[in-house]
C-alpha cells in the first residue's frame, strides 16, 4: 500500500484516476446523506414506533449534535494519524449505526443510533481534505470541487430518496439500504485509498488546544461561526418539522411528498459556485449579508400561509424553501471564504470551528423546532426560523471591532 505525504502534491504528478475521484465524491455524498435520511420519514416513523412528535423530533437533533461533536473531537485526528485508517473505521461505525437505527425496537434505541450516525458521518469531513492531498496541485481545485459536488448532491438527494423509499418500502428499509451503501463504499476505500503520512506529532490535547487558541485570536472566525450557527437554527427547524407538519391536517401528505421538498436544495447547490465568484469580485461580506437577508425574508414569508388555500400553501412552501436554501448555502460559501483567509496554515482547524458552530445550530434548531411545533404549531416554527435569521443578520451588521475583542 502506497503512503501519501499530507503536505502538497507535485505539479508534475499525473492526474488522479477517474475511478478514485468518483470513489471520493460518492463517499462524501453518501456519508453526508446519512445525516438527513430521517427527516422526511419522521411522520410515519413516529406513528410506527409509538413515539410522540416531540420525542421523534430528537432523532434529527441528536444526529446533528453528533456531527458537531464528531467534527470538534475528531477533526484534528486527520493531522495526527493515517487518514485512510480513520476513513475505514468511521465507515464501519456508520454502517453499524445505520443498521442499529433500522432495527431499533423503540424510540430510545433509535435516538442512540441517531447520535452514533452523526458522529460517524463526519467521515465526509475526512474525505474532502483527503482529496485535496491526493490531487496534483495543478488540478486540485477541480478535483476538490468534484468531491464537494458529490457531497452537495448527497445532501440534496437524501431527503428525496428516503421519502420515496419510506413511502413504498418502509422507513426501516431506508436505514438498511443506507448501511449497505456505506459498506460498499468502505470496501472500495479499503482497496482504492492509499495511506496518508501524518503531518504532526502533537498530542491530542495540543491539537484540541489549538482550536481554542484560534477561536480566541480571530474575531472574524467567531463572527462567522455565530452567524452561520444562528442561520442553521432556522434551517434545521424547518426541515426537521416539515414531514410532521405535512403529515397532519390540512395536507395529509406522506413521506414521499416531504422528501420531494429536498429538490429545492438544488438552488443551494447551484448558488455555491455563483456565491463564490461574487465573493471573489465584490467581497464575501456583501454575500453574507445578502444571503442572510434572503433567508430571513423567505422564512418570514411563511407567516402568510394561513391566509392561503391548501394548494397555494404548498406553492409558498416550495418557493420559500428555495429562497432560504439559496441564502443559507451562499452564506456558508462566503463564510468559508472569510475563514480560509485568516490563516492558510490552519484551514482544516478553522473549517472545523466553523462547522461545529453550524451543526450546533442545526441540533438546536431541530430540538427547538420540534418543541415549537408540538406546543404552539407551525406558526411558532416560522417565528423561530425568522428570529434566528434576523439574529444572524444582526451579527453580520454589528461593527467588526465589537466581536473581534
| pLDDT, tens digit (0-9, with 9 covering 90-100), for 15-39 | 778 889 899 999 999 999 999 999 8
Question: Which helix (DSSP H) or strand (DSSP E) does residue 5 occupy?
Answer: strand 3-5
Express each pLDDT in 348-370 by its tens digit: 778 788 888 988 898 899 889 98
Comparing 143 with 192, which gets the higher pLDDT?
192
Percent helix, percent strand, percent coil in the chain, to nearest 5: 85, 0, 15
Q: What is the pLDDT averaged over residues 300-316?
A: 91
- Which three three-digit cell numbers place residue 237? 427547524
Q: Is the dihedral of CA 146, 154, 313, 275 positive or negative?
A: negative
> Percentage of residues in the chain with pLDDT exceeding 90?
39
Comparing 15-201 with 213-405, is the CATH topology the same?
A: yes
Q: Return the C-alpha torsion angle 170, 91, 263, 53, nearest 10.
A: 50
Q: How confident is the model at residue 227 (pLDDT cuts 50, 70, 90)?
A: very high
Q: Where are the alpha helices (DSSP H) in 170-218?
A: 171-192, 204-217
- List the one residue out of 184, 215, 240 whose CA is nearest residue 56: 240
pLDDT at 345: 65
Residue 198: is it exposed, middle or buried by C-beta count within 10 angstroms (0-12/13-18/19+)?
middle
- Fold for the domain defined by 213-405: Growth Hormone; Chain: A; (1.20.1250)
Backbone angles phi, psi at 3, to 5 degrees: -115, 130
pLDDT at 6 over 60: no
Q: Where are the domains of the chain?
A: 15-201, 213-405
Within a 10 A sphere around the Cβ of 164, how many other Cβ atoms? 18
Q: Cα separations (Å) of 159 from 240, 249, 257, 369?
A: 11, 21, 10, 18
- pLDDT tens, 381-392? 999 999 999 999
Computed over every residue of the chain, the mean pLDDT equals 84
Q: Residue 126 in contact with residue 78, Cβ under 8 Å?
A: yes
* CA gap 127, 120 in Å, rounded: 13
All cell numbers assigned to 171: 422507513
Q: Output b/e per residue, 347-376; b: 16+ Cβ within 10 A.
A: bbbbbbbbbbbbbbbbbbbbbbbbbbbbee
Q: Which pLDDT value is given to residue 273?
A: 62
What's the CATH number for 15-201? Answer: 1.20.1250.20
Amino acid at each position: 500500500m502506497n503512503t501519501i505525504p499530507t503536505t502538497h502534491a507535485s505539479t508534475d504528478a499525473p492526474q488522479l484516476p477517474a475511478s478514485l475521484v468518483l470513489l471520493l465524491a460518492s463517499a462524501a455524498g453518501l456519508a453526508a446523506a446519512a445525516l438527513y435520511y430521517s427527516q422526511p420519514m419522521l411522520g410515519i416513523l413516529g406513528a410506527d414506533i409509538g413515539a410522540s412528535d416531540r420525542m421523534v423530533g430528537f432523532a434529527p437533533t441528536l444526529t446533528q449534535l453528533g456531527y458537531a461533536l464528531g467534527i470538534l473531537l475528531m477533526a484534528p485526528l486527520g493531522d495526527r494519524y493515517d487518514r485512510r485508517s480513520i476513513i475505514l473505521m468511521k465507515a464501519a461505525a456508520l454502517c453499524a449505526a445505520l443498521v442499529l437505527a433500522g432495527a431499533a425496537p423503540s424510540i430510545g434505541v433509535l435516538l442512540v443510533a441517531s447520535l452514533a450516525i452523526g458522529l460517524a458521518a463526519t467521515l465526509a469531513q475526512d474525505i474532502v481534505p483527503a482529496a485535496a492531498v491526493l490531487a496534483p496541485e495543478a488540478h486540485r481545485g477541480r478535483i476538490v470541487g468534484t468531491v464537494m459536488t458529490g457531497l452537495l448532491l448527497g445532501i440534496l438527494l437524501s431527503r428525496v430518496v428516503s421519502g420515496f423509499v419510506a413511502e413504498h418500502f418502509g422507513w426501516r428499509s431506508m436505514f438498511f439500504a443506507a448501511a449497505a451503501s456505506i459498506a460498499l463504499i468502505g470496501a472500495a476505500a479499503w482497496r482504492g485509498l492509499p495511506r496518508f503520512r501524518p503531518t504532526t506529532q502533537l498530542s491530542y490535547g495540543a491539537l484540541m488546544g489549538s482550536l481554542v487558541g484560534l477561536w480566541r485570536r480571530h474575531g472574524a472566525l467567531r463572527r462567522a461561526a455565530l452567524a452561520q450557527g444562528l442561520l442553521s437554527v432556522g434551517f434545521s427547524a424547518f426541515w426537521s418539522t416539515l414531514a410532521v407538519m405535512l403529515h397532519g391536517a390540512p395536507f395529509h401528505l406522506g413521506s414521499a411528498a416531504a422528501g420531494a421538498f429536498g429538490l429545492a436544495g438544488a438552488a443551494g447547490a447551484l448558488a455555491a459556485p455563483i456565491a463564490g465568484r461574487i465573493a471573489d469580485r465584490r467581497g464575501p461580506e456583501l454575500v453574507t449579508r445578502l444571503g442572510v437577508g434572503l433567508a430571513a425574508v423567505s422564512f418570514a414569508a411563511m407567516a402568510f400561509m394561513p391566509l392561503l388555500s391548501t394548494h397555494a400553501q404548498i406553492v409558498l412552501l416550495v418557493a420559500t424553501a428555495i429562497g432560504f436554501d439559496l441564502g443559507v448555502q451562499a452564506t456558508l460559501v462566503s463564510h468559508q471564504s472569510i475563514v480560509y483567509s485568516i490563516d492558510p496554515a490552519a484551514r482544516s482547524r478553522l473549517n472545523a470551528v466553523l462547522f461545529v458552530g453550524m451543526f450546533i445550530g442545526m441540533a438546536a434548531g431541530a430540538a427547538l423546532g420540534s418543541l415549537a411545533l408540538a406546543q404552539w404549531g407551525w406558526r411558532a416554527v416560522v417565528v423561530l426560523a425568522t428570529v434566528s435569521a434576523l439574529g444572524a443578520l444582526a451579527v453580520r451588521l454589528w461593527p467588526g471591532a465589537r466581536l473581534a475583542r
